[in-house]
A and B are shown apart, each in its own frame.
Chain A
Amino acid sequence: MLRESSDRSDTIASLNIHGAVNPDSDSGVPYGSLLTAFAEAAVRQTDSLPGLRERIVAELGVQQLVDAAGIVANFQRMVRIADGCGIPLDDFTLEASEGWREELGLHAFASAANTA
């Protein structure tokens, strides 16, 4: 969905899919580095979290911060459902992601053995 939504966006010249998994890669999504840094700080509860909240408010806005927190909350939940139930990949996900799962190293994730 990242790729599809980026393809439809007029603010993204070229999506670098590595930015989704690698903190050192620029995804090409506006404010992507700030938002992914916030996601990582929220998931890991690091000391950088308060400062990142302030930066998102200053550079994007309060509602963008709340949206960002909502995404973290939502996907912290969804990954546990997926991995807690060993769900198979949906056909449309498999088809859409076939080309870059290997490239991003997702097959090295422990849960790859469960999500056939």
Chain B
Amino acid sequence: MTTTVAPFSYAAAAWNIPDRIRAAHVRSWDRLATAGEWWTGAERISIAAESRRVSALVDGLPDPGSGPVELAEAVVYAVHKLIGDLPNVTREWYEETINAEGMSDAHYIELLGVLVHVWSVDELHRALGLELEPLPDPIPGEPTRHRPEGLADHGSWPPTLAAEDVAESESDIYGGRPRAANVLAAMSLHPDSVRWLNDLFEAHYLSWDDMADMDTKVRALSRPQLELMASRVSALNECFY
């Protein structure tokens, strides 16, 4: 089921959802529906729909159905792997995926960006027992196929942008900081995914500046409580990073 509006009104929510979270979720749906650099809006929504199918499969729930367009087999497999089989994601699998027909490293990073951000919004809803927001209708438009200048091998599988190599048009992605954490730079092949990450990171957790300041108290939970939970979620996913 799709809708032309994505209000995230939370009118029926038992909990008071802060405006910062609601606003970031609305922006997420706007981003989702719009054509990116490598995928159309319809394809992006189909990637999101496939992530919901994986979650339903894992949780033993009815199949919520596919998105507006059919996705290539490699794309569907990538969604299932990244959501449902994360510990077994390997460099060999990554190389196979980006070399599949219709894929590239840039397609992969945008796919990953769409996938993890929509899934993250859904995870917050599931954690709070809220209904999932219907996926938006796609906004017509063609991918721009913009690939940033200055990409290089910095140790991650995809090429990434070092802070000193970011072009003027992408100068916002690291917030002007002289260094970017590797997990942030990992998405820099698709700068809009970094912007999306920054937006939801601050809404769900902390801003990058607040994260760096251990004495800042901006959430109801204490900083050690936040970090303890973060560590447990990482451990449950067997994430070494």
Contacts and interface: CB of A to CB of B under 8 A. Distances in A.
A99 to B, nearest CB: 15
Nearest to A93: B241
A115 B220 CA distance: 32
Contacts of A69: 124, 127-128
A76 B233 contact: yes
A86 B119 contact: no
Contacts of B197: 77, 81
Interface in B126-157: 126-129, 154-157
Contact of A66 (B21, B87, B121, B123): B21
A80 B112 contact: yes
Interface in A1-36: 1-2, 4-6, 8-9, 11-12, 15, 19-21, 27, 29-32, 35-36
A8 B215 contact: yes
Contacts, number: 249
A68 to B, nearest CB: 6
Chain A, interface size category, equals: 35 or more
Interface stretch (B36-44, B64-72, B163-171, B221-229): B221-229
Nearest to B201: A74
Contacts of B23: none
Given A2-B224, A5-B214, A5-B224, A89 B15 contact: no
Most buried by A among B16, B121, B181, B241: B241
Does more than half of chain A's interface fall in helix, strand or loop, or is it mixed? helix
A18 to B, nearest CB: 11
Contact of B237 (A2, A76, A114): A76
B222 A115 contact: no
A90 B182 contact: yes
B238 A111 contact: yes
Interface string B169-188: 00000000000011101110
Contacts of B59: 45
Interface string A77-112: 111111111111110010000000000001101111
B230 interface: yes
Contact of A86 (B126, B156, B219): B156
Contacts of A45: 58-59, 126
Given A45-B59, A49-B129, A83-B89, A110 B238 contact: yes
Given A9-B222, A110-B87, 15 more contacts: A1-B214, A38-B229, A39-B236, A63-B219, A70-B203, A71-B230, A72-B127, A73-B120, A77-B123, A79-B237, A82-B186, A89-B241, A90-B182, A111-B239, A113-B90
Interface of A: 1-2, 4-6, 8-9, 11-12, 15, 19-21, 27, 29-32, 35-36, 38-40, 42-45, 49-50, 53, 57, 60-90, 93, 106-107, 109-116
6 contacts: A1-B230, A73-B121, A73-B123, A76-B120, A77-B116, A88-B155
Interface of B: 15-18, 21, 58-59, 82-83, 86-91, 94, 109, 112, 115-117, 119-121, 123-124, 126-129, 154-158, 181-183, 185-187, 197, 200-201, 203-205, 211, 214-215, 219-241
